[in-house]
Structure 1
Amino acid sequence: MSSYRKIDRASDNYPFPKLKNLVMVAGHSIYTSNSFEKVDKEDSWFLESYQKHPGQAATFVTHIEEGVEIASKDSNALLLFSGGETRKDAGPRSEAQSYWTVAESKGWFGKEDGVRWRSLTEEHARDSFENLLFSVCRFRELTGTYPLNITVVSYDFKEERFAHLHRSAIRFPESRFFYSGTPGSPTSKEAAMKGEALVRAQFQDDPYGCLGSLHRKKLGRDPFHRSIPYPNGCPEIEGLFRYCGASPYPGSLPWS
């Protein structure tokens, strides 16, 4: 099955039937300030202890701007900010809405006319694998088809995790998967690299994040017990959502 062929002939039922490519910005925090005068300051965001480093908030804004910039250069791209209501003390606010609202406050970095109308949110992901998988499903909900190309925006040190481990887990073609990584906070680089090595090793053993520590972490990032709507909206990949195993999902996929 072609990844670009319309799944449903009634494409007029979809808000964005002409968009072909997915640009996904992975969320890392929730914006908690009541104003948007200091979006690059740490006290405007809810930060876990390991995130509390000077310059950390500015890296979130960089991700948002990078996603807008990439989407602005591709008129066929749907921009999705991905991330759920992951922090109890931050209240029922999602990472995705935080990023979208920051982009709005920044006037879409001068590219509002071309990008804002095709920038939306995926508000249920609880980890990086779900950022990717859920955004693919959200793309299907909005366009009626699956992305021809995928670009992920996150930290540069997470490229191996996204571009190899997660991409391989959903068996998306390497030739149509792109990664745009930006630097983390210089003051937290060593700790970030060490933490990333640990998480990467966990995903190597548990590529779908459905067992052990990765599964427990996801449960901890769902403090308000949100019902996840997927795979409603992307029934062709329901099996992928249900799968749990150390080897790649063996079933048929729209892009394979």
Structure 2
Amino acid sequence: MNKQLFGQSSGKAFHAYPKGDFDLESGNIKKARKPKNLLLDPIKMLKTIGNRIHYYSKIHPLLVLLISLSFGVAILIMLSMYTSSFQMNVRRKSDASSSSYPYENLRNLVMVAGHSVYMSSSCGKVDGEESWFLETYQKHPGQAATFLMHIKEGIQIAAKDERALLLFSGGETRKDAGPQSEAQSYWAVAESQGWFGKQEDVRWRALTEEHARDSFENLLFSVCRFRELTGTYPHNVTVVSYDFKEERFAHLHRLAIGFPEARFFYFGTPASSTSKEAAMKGESAVRAQFHEDPYGCVGSLHRKKLTRDPFHRSIPYPNGCPELKGMFSYCGVVPYPGKLPWTQ
């Protein structure tokens, strides 16, 4: 007789009842129902949910109404948040596109230096001295015609170079002329003259630099203004002014800002015959002052700049041209020793 201890297995599992549900009365085995997977049948699932909602709405109508309202409010909040986020992204993209430089495709600068403020409201007699605010040393017959010649030449030079930005430069330098800048005066005269037949080609790329108080600032500020509008510094610079000022611009001022000589061009027009002798004498004296004070930051040149700022305009530069920040605070008799964008 084999004795088997409690807990020891015979090696085969014993099932008291077969798999499935066993009916003791009938002795039959009922097959277990397989659970329905509603996820595989979305239509039945929706019907089931609908039936349940309908059932509960009859038993607890107020509760179902509150749940439905809460669900609706939650959807509205989510839609509102999504709309706000979408509008913010659109606004950011719009701001990014608007912050780009409006003239980034232009690469050369044509600068016309201003010498007076146009006073006529009708823009009829642009070549008449009575239409301009003239200092005592400027009151000569034919003087106004020389201003008009500068404007015309600047437009024609820019018209020949489709990648040139034309800037009229000159601030609000005359107190009795009111808060009107030389640059804006020149632009208005160009407009009144139909841009000398070059309106469609030049007008859209002709702007102003309205803070310069002397010839050195005409050049430096226009280079900064170019940087503000294009995002880069000019490859070539062309200056339009009187022919007797060529040495001042092309040598003294160009050297002071360290701009390459091979990329600097000067176009000079003659002074009126009645003012030529006095103009040459005055130019000799001013040129000697810039020899001693290239940046116009001390002595008589500095005092002259103060008198040419009667409305105490705040100079915006070097904002817009941060690479030249060091030059704006420099005052010396030798050229600025720091790094410059066009020398790197």
The counterpart of 2:316, out of the listed 210, 215, 229, is 229
Query: Paired residue for 1:122?
Result: 209
Deviations 1:7-49 (A, max 9, x none): xx98961010000000000000000111111000000000000
Within 2, Cα distance between the matches of 1:34 and 1:98?
Answer: 11
Within 2, Cα distance between the matches of 1:174 and 1:77?
Answer: 18
The CA deviation at 1:82 is 0.1
Within 2, Cα distance between the matches of 1:240 and 1:63?
Answer: 28
Within 2, Cα distance between the matches of 1:236 and 1:189?
Answer: 39
The counterpart of 1:108, out of the listed 195, 198, 202, is 195
Within 2, Cα distance between the matches of 1:197 and 1:66?
Answer: 25
- The yes-or-no answer on 1:17 pairing with 2:104 is yes
Contact 1:163 1:179 in 2 (8 A): yes
Query: What is the one-letter code of the residue matched to 1:44?
Result: S
TM-score between both structures, scaled by the size of structure 2: 0.71
How many residue pairs are counted as aligned between the two chains? 248
Query: Paired residue for 1:4?
Result: none
Within 2, Cα distance between the matches of 1:10 and 1:220?
Answer: 41
- The yes-or-no answer on 1:166 pairing with 2:260 is no
- The yes-or-no answer on 1:213 pairing with 2:300 is yes
Matched position secondary structure for 1:132: helix
The counterpart of 1:46, out of the listed 133, 137, 150, is 133
Q: Map 1:72-151; keep pairs closer than 5 Å.
A: 72-151=159-238
Q: Map 1:164-203; keep pairs closer than 5 Å.
A: 164-203=251-290
Deviations 1:136-184 (A, max 9, x none): 0000000000000000000000000000000000000000000000001
The CA deviation at 1:218 is 0.1
The counterpart of 1:34, out of the listed 115, 121, 134, is 121
Within 1, Cα distance between the matches of 2:98 and 2:249?
Answer: 30
Contact 1:11 1:17 in 2 (8 A): no
Structure 1 residue ranges (4+ consecutive) displaced by more than 2 angstroms after TM superposition: 9-12
Alignment gaps of 5+ in structure 1:
1-8
The structure number with the bigger radius of gyration is 2
Higher relative contact order (CA 8 A, sep 6+): 1
TM-score between both structures, scaled by the size of structure 1: 0.96
Aligned Cα root-mean-square deviation (Å): 1.2
Query: What is the one-letter code of the residue matched to 2:199?
Result: E
